[in-house]
Chains A and B, each alone.
Chain A
Amino acid sequence: MKEVINLPVKNVEEEEYHINMGPQHPSTHGVLRLVVSLQGEIVKSLKPHCGYIHRGIEKMCEKDTYPQIIHLTDRMDYLSAHINNHAVCLLVENALEVDVPERVKYIRTIVDELNRIASHQLWWCSFGMDMGGLTCYFYGLRDREKILDIFEESFGSRLLHSYYTPGGLMMDIHPNFQKNVKDFLKYFRRKIKDYDNILTGNIIMQERTKGVGILSKEDAISYGVTGPSGRASGFACDVRKHHPYGVYDKADFKEILGTEGDTFTRYMMRMHEMRESMKIIEQLIDNIPAGDYTAKMKAVLKLPAGEYYQRVEAARGELGVYCVSDGNKTPYRMKFRSPNFSNLSALDHMSRGVKIADLVAIGGSLDYVIPDIDR
């Protein structure tokens, strides 16, 4: 007869224990590992472990010329690839004091905003999926496909475009571009109402997100949480408003600020932002001036010795590029201040005391893209 072994039963409600969330967890949207310290199912603290997709982009930049660096920035936050390109282009143009044609500024602003909408669509579908609503995933991807089709027609690629070059654009827009964008806006104005019907008004979703993961305005500023997540806490951090680039100063749009700073407000910020982006595109799309699609640039770009900093508003927040040049054709030091990196630092603070299922919702509302954290 077998001997029955009585294992000691631990009371998990009282004892603190650690679990690894990731690196292969679906809700981390990439290879991020969170070591979560739990008591029962209450999160006590968490520590992010990064570097699974660290490629040393900053080190690589030191070997590359400025036009080559553009291709690396695509691969940081791949969902706002155009906006990342824009940051490096503006940095080089400002350093060389190049006058970029108006046409280029208009096209860049429109494409940036299309990119922002596409990014928020993907965020919306994955956020819905994190909360258990798989339908969202199909709706969001279906509409994002329309934007990717426009990108493919004009720039030849769907995700990593490298469409901007220092001084202008790689090529002119496709003759159908304006028509297709207008068609898309007409289509998406109708479809975004479905988004609200499916998810925003859903009582289960609201119950799970309202009052969860609150970040105060002071903390948002201190942690450097920018973008829609920062604005949900009332932190006026829209680079497009405060340090305009492109033709944002000619477009009429609102910087929407939240007050609650909880997961639901962060959700609403992005829903509002999609509508604001559409408003910006509508104002610009018919007014693209004629002209060259690139300024005349030298074959080899050498930035004068000195330091340069350029900030742009990526889909997840403020992207900063800091460049130290020693006068050569490659930078001496290149630093990317990525929005996700700073946003991640607040995750520990926001998720203390919530249930582990809410941690998934908070993470979804921060919308992190891991390659942008690790670089």
Chain B
Amino acid sequence: MDNAALKERILGLVPDAEFQENKQFLTFIIPPAKMHDLALSLKAEADLAFDFLFCLTAVDMVKFLEVVYHLESTTHKHQLVLKARTEDRVSGAVDTVCDIWKTAELHEREAYDLMGIRFNNHPDLRRFFLEEGWVGHPLRKDYVDEVNIVEL
């Protein structure tokens, strides 16, 4: 499916998805509450068949946090980027997609550990790289650690 047809298809599934201009990939901002349902249909429906989540990451946009999903279909070869934004930095959470793409389990743990995004229904949401009891989430822009980070 080409990008124009894919755009129609996504907007048909989630009418309030916000299209974002991006040279490389077709990009949408999805309301976090609808993310999981959309992910289910993206994988299940035969003409979409997004079975390969090749990157899951999070970005601190200062006012909110953003989870970025890079998806590809191994049968149709089309690609798509979805973004789910939390409401604010403190209380926001996004539903997990690790029941749909298993690779998300560790990627979400990493995003939780380093960016502090909580994923609802995740089976084992613990810190991944840092030890339990670490204070703060290092990849956030306001993170200050005078001991471990050397300012140059």
Report A's interface with B, CB cutoff 8 A. Answer: 50-51, 54, 56, 58-59, 63, 218-219, 221-224, 235-237, 242, 306-309, 311, 318, 320, 322, 324, 332-333, 335, 337, 341-342, 344-346, 349, 374
Contacts and interface: CB of A to CB of B under 8 A. Distances in A.
Contacts of A59: 138-139, 149
B103 A224 contact: yes
A235 B102 contact: no
Given A306-B23, A307-B24, A320-B54, A56 B106 contact: no
B74 interface: yes
Contacts of B152: 63
A304 B106 CA distance: 31
25 contacts: A50-B129, A51-B129, A56-B149, A58-B139, A63-B152, A218-B51, A223-B103, A224-B52, A236-B74, A237-B74, A306-B22, A307-B22, A307-B27, A309-B70, A320-B55, A322-B70, A324-B59, A333-B59, A333-B60, A335-B55, A337-B70, A342-B103, A345-B103, A345-B105, A346-B102
A58 B115 CA distance: 12
Interface in B98-117: 101-103, 105-107, 110, 114
Given A51-B128, A322-B68, A333-B60, A344 B25 contact: no
Contact of A337 (B27, B55, B114, B139): B55
Contacts of B22: 306-307
Most buried by A among B22, B25, B52, B105: B52
Describe B's contact surface by its main secondary structure. Answer: loop
Contact of B102 (A219, A308, A324): A219
Given A51-B128, A59-B138, A337 B102 contact: no
B105 A224 contact: no
B41 interface: no
A222 B101 contact: yes
B144 interface: no
Contacts of A222: 51, 101-103
Contacts of A224: 52-54, 101, 103
A175 B76 CA distance: 45
Contacts of A344: 106
A345 B106 contact: yes
B59 A50 contact: no
